[in-house]
Structure 1
Amino acid sequence: MVIELTETQELTQESVREFAEKEIEPAIDEMEEKGYIPDALWRKIGKQGIFGIRYSEEYGGSNLDVVSECLVAEEIAKVSLSVAFETTMQFFQSTDFIAKYGSEEQKEKWLVPAIKGEVRGAFCLTEPGGGSDLSHLSAQMEKDGDEAVINGKKTWTTSGPMADYYIVGALTDPEKGARSIDWVVIDSDNPGVEIGKDIPKIGLKGTQHSEVFFNDCRVPVENALAGIGEGNGYPYLNGILAEIRVVTAALGLGLTRAALDDSMDFAKQRVAFGKAIAKRQGISFKITDIATRLNAARLLTYRVASIMDEKGRNAEECSKLAPMTKNFSCKLAQDAVDKARRIQGAASFSSESSIGRYFCDSGALLWGGGTREINNWIIARELGLFD
């Protein structure tokens, strides 16, 4: 490690690494073929305590820190980015809103079983016309007596077809745009919920992403987690983005490690012109470049995670460092996979090679935690280049 870990952090890292190798790795082929994480594996992840890593012991969690979140994300991503993506969504966006704003009754209904792995949550924000540009969201929520009525279409919803409930972002005042976003939790069996098409993907084949429609969907007003039109939803979203970006950077670290390990193993075994290609500069220098940049990315990622733990998840300096971290680590993951493909040559083009899966999966890191362009805009603003 590039930072000194506590005993708890070391035990967390070791236990998740062993779990990923024992339980997740053997299931990869089945997940890739079927296109989703089986319920049995999902429950095992819950029993491992991974979904409750951020939450109070009162609700079945372990109340660990951001460094631990990153360790978990990195170790699972090294084995399967599909599982890591869906797992981090469950222990973050799909549960955090309920933990922060939900009543005790709502926490018992949704948060506790989600932590146990008994149910799946889904986070619905992205729309066909609004993703990075939140000002063009069109989903709306309005109050009608003691009910909230939600209308809108969401897309790229992780776990959409398999979710038991949805955390939905909707506008309460379209004239105010993104600043009127509020959040509501909706059960999947609500008659106003319609699952749209499953989105075919070139990567993350072990997860499902789909459209979800909300058609005059009615829920109790209390299901609006930050209130309706009270101005709480948008600041809260901004408040978790830095943490999301650092955890996404950790996903990039895991994928980079996988590509590096595969590259080294292949280069040591592949013989060309009388000796292992690992002994040739053209190959070995590609590997050393990945290893060097991986160490730099890990230093940055875990330093920013440590700052969040020392000064709070919304520490001021992290508004600049978090997008830097996400961009650097995720760009490295793509570069590492590309170099791994060049090292393996034609062998990497085989469907039997894990490098092909890494290559397709790495594209998801472009938009997870904010696109590179959006993050660069934030960095420029924080540097004082413009208002």
Structure 2
Amino acid sequence: MIRSNAETLIRKSMARFVDHELIPQAQELDEKGDFPREMFRRVGELGVFGLRYPKKDGGSGGNTTLFCVSCEELARGLMSVAAITAMQCLMGTNFLFHYGTEEMRERYWRPAMRGDLVACFCLTEPEAGSDLGNVSTLAEETDDGYVLNGMKTWVTNGPVADFYTVLCQTDPAKKLKGLNFFFIPAGTPGFSHSKAFDLLGTRTTKISEIAFNQCRIPKTHRLGGEGRGLSNLMNILAEIRVMTAALAIGLQRACLTDSIRYARERAQFGRVIGKYQLIQAKIANMATDLEASNLLTYKTTHLIDDRVACLKEASMAKYFATEAACRAADEATRVFGAYAYSMEYTPQRYYRDSRFLLYGGGTHEILQTNLARWAGL
């Protein structure tokens, strides 16, 4: 569904970077499990972090489609680098760009576009995942600002970020209408984070808890109008979901490519296993899922670029593509057989990383409930 030369050019450029720089380091980065700071800076040098933002403001002047193409290619190389990039491009910097002061954008947003600073987004709480009405992190207004108290969990980039966009409740009686986003620089008194979680997959993605204890910030650090937190989040929810679908496509492509290569090389009973129909069926199913995921995902990105409301389409793309990625990762382990159980081969990483896709942007149980309603049930 290519609609412009820009899509072709960005895909070729990102594919070259992934093939020559990311894939050769992917296994080592995954095994070490450290935040890939040098790789992060390299992605920033390519202008990827600013793809969603206008050139006149310091971005790269792209759109959602180009952003998703980049995320897809990075996920083909290493899912955790793609996840960090997605956080930097979208959730971690979006509200600062649109609602921060010029001083805040100059000090934090522009360096983040270059890859000099790491951004972070704090939404989930121990008792508030999909149920945002249950957010309890409280921002109490004072004469000169706000005082924050509460905790966030499953915060991507939590232990390594330089600044945080945090969803808080300012008036518990208003529930969803009392939600607001706030900007918190790292090192603000009263702010702390836990040690990084020990993760099954996306090992270089650092995730932790964040705590606020009498954390004081100025009034200018509220991002958006009072009570507009949920509506402002809804403005980018389709992007969040379709971005996750793009990550899933990248993983599917990696699974399919490696499975085909292995099926052409591995011989059993006197011929390569790719000659056996059951292996061919796995490849056929993976290829069909990939094509369907592409059509759903990039139809949606083009709708977003055309400013057409498409939360339903984005939800379908996220649901289908991420489930397809999990199927592809499972099938890849079956094509590789016992070798997939070895940490030396890629399917074990694909299998671990695929689970990451199921949770962000809405659990599939929530998505299925919404999709059934949109279908007319």
TM-score range, shorter chain: over 0.9
3-state SS, counterpart of residue 238 of structure 1: helix
3-state SS, counterpart of residue 51 of structure 1: helix
Determine whether 1:257 maps to 2:253.
yes
Aligned to 1:335: 327
Aligned to 1:74: 72
3-state SS, counterpart of residue 302 of structure 1: helix
Shift in Å at residue 38 of structure 1?
Answer: 2.8
Aligned to 2:317: 325
For residues 287-298 of structure 1, what are the structure 2 equivalents within 5 Å?
287-298=283-294
Shift in Å at residue 29 of structure 1?
Answer: 3.2
Shift in Å at residue 178 of structure 1?
Answer: 2.7
1:145-166 Cα shifts (integer Å, max 9, x gaps): 1211111111111111110011
Aligned equivalents of 2:292, 2:99: Cα separation in 1: 37
Q: Contact conserved, 2:40 with 2:81, CA < 8 A, in 1? A: no
Determine whether 1:56 maps to 2:54.
yes
Determine whether 1:171 maps to 2:169.
yes
Aligned to 1:353: 345
Aligned equivalents of 1:146, 1:113: Cα separation in 2: 28
Aligned equivalents of 1:87, 1:31: Cα separation in 2: 15
Aligned to 1:203: 201
Amino acid in structure 2 at the alignment position of 1:346: A
* 1:102 aligned residue (95, 100, 103): 100
1:299-318 Cα shifts (integer Å, max 9, x gaps): 111111111112x1xx33x1
Q: Which shifted more, 300-309 or 322-331?
A: 300-309
Aligned to 2:273: 277
Aligned to 2:363: 371
Aligned equivalents of 1:281, 1:197: Cα separation in 2: 48
3-state SS, counterpart of residue 198 of structure 1: coil
Aligned equivalents of 1:61, 1:239: Cα separation in 2: 19
Q: Contact conserved, 1:60 with 1:116, CA < 8 A, in 2? A: no
Amino acid in structure 1 at the alignment position of 2:241: R
Q: Which shifted more, 344-353 or 15-24?
A: 15-24
Shift in Å at residue 357 of structure 1?
Answer: 0.5
Q: Contact conserved, 2:48 with 2:89, CA < 8 A, in 1? A: yes
Aligned equivalents of 2:176, 2:345: Cα separation in 1: 43
Shift in Å at residue 27 of structure 1?
Answer: 2.7
Aligned equivalents of 1:146, 1:18: Cα separation in 2: 51
Aligned equivalents of 2:25, 2:207: Cα separation in 1: 19
Shift in Å at residue 125 of structure 1?
Answer: 0.7
Shift in Å at residue 36 of structure 1?
Answer: 2.9
Shift in Å at residue 10 of structure 1?
Answer: 1.0
Aligned equivalents of 1:348, 1:4: Cα separation in 2: 34
Aligned equivalents of 1:374, 1:204: Cα separation in 2: 23
Q: Contact conserved, 1:319 with 1:382, CA < 8 A, in 2? A: no
Amino acid in structure 2 at the alignment position of 1:218: R
Determine whether 1:93 maps to 2:85.
no
Aligned to 2:145: 147
Aligned-residue identity in percent? 42
Amino acid in structure 2 at the alignment position of 1:343: V
Amino acid in structure 2 at the alignment position of 1:340: A
Q: Contact conserved, 1:28 with 1:206, CA < 8 A, in 2? A: no
Determine whether 1:13 maps to 2:25.
no
TM-score by length of 2: 0.97
| Alignment: residue pair count | 377
Aligned equivalents of 1:285, 1:377: Cα separation in 2: 31
For residues 224-239 of structure 1, what are the structure 2 equivalents within 5 Å?
224-227=222-225, 230-239=226-235
Aligned to 2:155: 157
Determine whether 1:362 maps to 2:358.
no
Q: Contact conserved, 2:36 with 2:204, CA < 8 A, in 1? A: no
Q: Contact conserved, 1:59 with 1:111, CA < 8 A, in 2? A: no
Q: Which runs of 5+ in 2 are unaligned?
A: none
3-state SS, counterpart of residue 161 of structure 1: coil
3-state SS, counterpart of residue 160 of structure 1: coil
3-state SS, counterpart of residue 182 of structure 1: strand
Amino acid in structure 2 at the alignment position of 1:233: G
Aligned equivalents of 1:285, 1:267: Cα separation in 2: 12
TM-score by length of 1: 0.95
Q: Contact conserved, 1:195 with 1:212, CA < 8 A, in 2? A: yes
For residues 206-221 of structure 1, what are the structure 2 equivalents within 5 Å?
206-221=204-219
Aligned to 2:301: 305
For residues 42-53 of structure 1, what are the structure 2 equivalents within 5 Å?
42-53=40-51
3-state SS, counterpart of residue 223 of structure 2: coil
Determine whether 1:286 maps to 2:282.
yes
RMSD: 1.2
